[in-house]
Amino acid sequence: MIILFLCIAFNTILVSGSSLSDQVHQTPPDLFSKQGERAKISCSHSIDNYNRMLWYKQTNRELQFLGNMLARLPTPEKGLDIKLEGSADKGQNCTLTTERLELNSSAVYFCAASYHSPYSTPAYFGQGTKLTVLEPGLNVTAPTVKVLKPCKNQKGNKTLVCVASGFYPDHVSVSWEIDDVVVTKGVATDNAALRNGSYYKITSRLRVTEEVWYTEGKKFHCAVRFYDGTGYIYQNKTIKGKWKVVLTTDQYLWISRAAELSYSVLIVKSCIYGAFVAFLVWKLQGSTGKQDD
């Protein structure tokens, strides 16, 4: 097994995120099964001349090679209770069937399209299938979602926090929208849901400027997508921004200068008015002195 894996590793460059990876189609993206059942995953590609399909199991960021299909010739790894069927040619379906699932069968499974060659050639990954073997006694449970407003004493940029909790299993994803437009800038989501007892929890943070948060009526929307075994359900929460006058540096300097100018004008006016009053008093005193004479 190790020798075969090394041979494939040295003769194949595994690539993800490439434009050709978009031509590798893996289904389903999510899958639940029970212990003792089987799970079937399909993969196809539309890359010219490619005729080999590689299969991997990822657990805790470690890839385990499961086998490969060369055209219609399957070669599963020995000692693994799996079956490869179909064809690895362009436009055909290649399927991986895992028999008699156990709890440790839970993982992310990947297919990768490649070209059979004695030389190094790139292999392009599919998007992966997250398989969970359900634990006995635990029911599939959708998350509860809440959004926490920024702390009042937080200076500068504001951080909104979306918390999804109480769900099982961990087939969940989180996204943010501002005024119905999906945003990714300023978003930080936990790499994986954290388990606490029988259930999971995941947190996502959205960081925005003061100007954005203090815009009356602006909507901040957290959308949590959860796979329940038959389809996807969404739990959504929306909060609105608060109105507050937030000045930019230029605006603050302009207002400060305007205030200084207004204050200076007021002082000048006060001086003029004081001088005018003093002049009137002097005139009145002069007039009174003449009458006395």
Q: Which of 3, 1, 23 is nearest to 122 (CA)?
A: 23
pLDDT tens per residue across span 134-169: 999 999 999 999 999 998 888 889 999 999 999 999
On average, the pLDDT of the chain sits at: 86
CA proximity to 47, closest of 22, 23, 12: 23
Among residues 96, 113, 108, 124, the alpha carbon closest in space to that of 44 is found at: 113
Neighbours of 97 (CB within 10 A): 15
Predicted confidence (pLDDT) per residue in 106-126, tens digit: 999 999 999 987 667 789 999
12-15 vs 121-125, strand pairing mode? parallel
The region of weakest confidence among 77-86, 93-102, 210-219, 274-283 is 274-283
* Per-residue model confidence (pLDDT) at position 242: 73
Residue 152, token pair as written in the block = 């009042």
Q: Is the pLDDT of residue 2 over 50?
A: no
Inform me whether the pLDDT recorded for 5 exceeds 60.
no
**What tens digit of pLDDT does each residue of 223-248 get?**
999 999 999 999 999 999 876 654 55
Return the SS3 of 171. coil
Distance CA 239, CA 222 (A): 9
